[in-house]
Structure 1
C-alpha cells in the first residue's frame, strides 16, 4: 500500500530510509527496501515519474548511446563487454518486473541507424565485435526503413514500456510512503542519522538514497564535476494513419531517436551533446531553439510526410558522467547518503541494474564494480 501525502504543513517525520526521487530508479530501490522490511519514504519535487522517467520515450535498449567499437576503445574489450551485459541484465530485470506487475511490454527489438557512411562503417565494425563477444545483433548495409539511412544494427531483444506506469506500479506494490511536491533542499547530519529538509516537511532517517540523476549537483557539490545535466526534447505527433515504425530507432550515434506508440503517434526525440561535466548546459541561452530546430530538420529529412509543426513537445533532464557510465556509491563526507545517478540517455536499461548494485552496497557493503563512483575520485 502506498500513502500519497500532500505537502500542506511543516511536518517532522521519521523513517529508516528516505529515497529522494520518484523515478524508475527511486521506485525500484524503494520497493526493494520496503520488501526487506525497512520503513521507507520517497520524496520528489514533482510527482511520481514526473521527471525524466515519465518524459522518456519508453525504450529499454542494449548498450550505451555511443556504439560498441567506441566503448571498446574507451573502456577496453572486457569492460565494454561487461557494460553491454549490464544493460541487458537491467532490461531483463525490467521485463521481469513489468510481467510481475502486469505492465504491458512490447517486444519490438530496436534499430541503430547510420546517417552517414562513417557511422555505417562504425556500425559494421561494432556488429563484428558484438558478435565475437556473444551478443545477438544483425548488421544490414542500407536502410531497412527506406528513408535514407546508410546502415542499420538490429538488437532483436530490446523492448518498449510505459515507464511511468511501471514506476507507479512498483511503488504501489509495496508499503512505501510517497510524498509528492516535496522538493529536498538540504541534507543535514544529526548524530548517526540524517535530517532531510524538504518543502513542507523534514524527515529524520538512518540513510538516504539519492536517485535524482541529472539534478544530483543541486543536492551536493560532490557531483558538480561528475554529473552534467543534459536536456532532451521530444515531439509527439497526432496519431498517424498507418504504421511507419515497427521498432524504436536511434540515429546519429544515438543523439536522435524515434518510436511509434501503440496509438500510432510518432515520437521524435533528440538531446544535446554533453558539455564538460558541471556545466549547466540545460540553462544555455537559446538551447531550446537549437534543439527544436535540429529535431525539426531530422524529422523533415527522414519523415517528410509527418506533420510536426503542431506536435506536442516536452523536455527532460538527463545526467551524464565524464566516462558515460552511471555512478553508484555513497557521499564521502556523509556516508549515510547513498546514490545511483548519471544514467545518460539509457536510464530504463540501467535502472534495475544500478538499483541492484546500490542495494548490495547498502545491505552488504559490496563494491559496485565498474559502476563504483570511486573510479572518478
Structure 2
C-alpha cells in the first residue's frame, strides 16, 4: 500500500475516533433506553395445543342413509376436514364462547365486542402443518396459566360444536330407521299371525316344492322392492338433490315390479308374457296355477317372508347407524394439550437491546462522518456551507 493511501485510510478511521464520545455514548444510551422499555413491557407467554389431522368420513356407513342430509363433511363441498376445523376455530361462535368464559372483553379493556374479537384474533394463531396436517392452536397471554387455559378452551369448543353437528346427523339417521323398524316389526307380527291362523283353519302346512320356490323368489323380489322404496323414501325424507340416484332407484323398482307381476300372474307389468330384458322365463308357473287354498297359503307365507327379510335389512342398517352415531361421540383427537409455558415468548430483550445498540452505532458513525464533512466544507468551501445552512433552516420552517 502506498503512503498516501495509508494516510487516507488512517484519516478515514480517525474520523469516528475524533468523536468517539458521541459514537460510543449514543449506542449505550439507545441500549439503556431499549432495555428500560422492554423491562416495562409485560412478558407474553404462548401456549400451544395440537390436534391430529381429522379422519375423513368413511364411505361404508354413509352410503346407507347419508342421503338424509349427510354428515358435516358433505355440507362443506368436499373441503378437507382440517380446513373445516380451522374455520370452526376462527368462527364468531367460538370467539363468543372464549370471550365470555374468560371475561376477555374486560381483560382487554375493549369498549365493544368488535374490539374484543380483534384483540383475541391478534393473540391467537391457528395453523395447519403442510406435511402432517396437524392443527396447532397457539394463544398468547400475559399469564402462562391463562394462555394454556384459553388454548385448551379452543379445543373444547371445537369438540363440542363438531360433536353436536355430527350427533344431530347420526341421530336423524338412527331415529328414522327406528320408526321404520317399529312399523316393519308390527307388520311382521301381523303377517305371521295371519299365516298361523290360516294354517290352523285349513290344516295347510307346506306347499309343493315348485310353489315354494316361486314363493321364495317372489318374496325376495318383494323385499328388494321394499328396500329400494325405503331408500327412495330416505332420499325424499331428507330432501337431497341426488337426481341420478333417484332415477336409478325408480328404474330398479319398476324392473322388480315387472318380475313380481310375472311371478304372480304369469305376465309382466305391461301384459306381455316376456319382456325385452328377460331372455328366459324365470318361473315355471304362476300363482294362478296353484289351487286356491295353496295360492292363498303361498301369499300369506310370502308376506311373512317379505316382512322378515325387510326386518333383517332394516335391523342391519339400524345397527350400522348406531355405530356411526357412537363414532361421532369422540370427534377430536388431541395430540398435545396446552400446558403453561415456563419461558416467555416476548419481548426478546437481548435481541431488542442488541439491535438498538448496533443500529444506533451505525447511525453514530454516519453522524461522525457527516459532521466531519460539514467542518471540512465550512473551512474549504464557506459559500457551499452557508448555502447548505440556509437550506437546512428553510426546511425546518
Question: For the superposition of Structure 1 and Structure 2, which TM-score range results when normalised by the shorter chain?
Answer: under 0.3
TM-score normalised by L of structure 2: 0.19
Bigger strand share: 1
| Structure showing the higher helix proportion among its residues | 2
Structure showing greater relative contact order (alpha-carbon pairs closer than 8 Å, 6 or more residues apart): 2
TM-score, normalization by structure 1 = 0.19
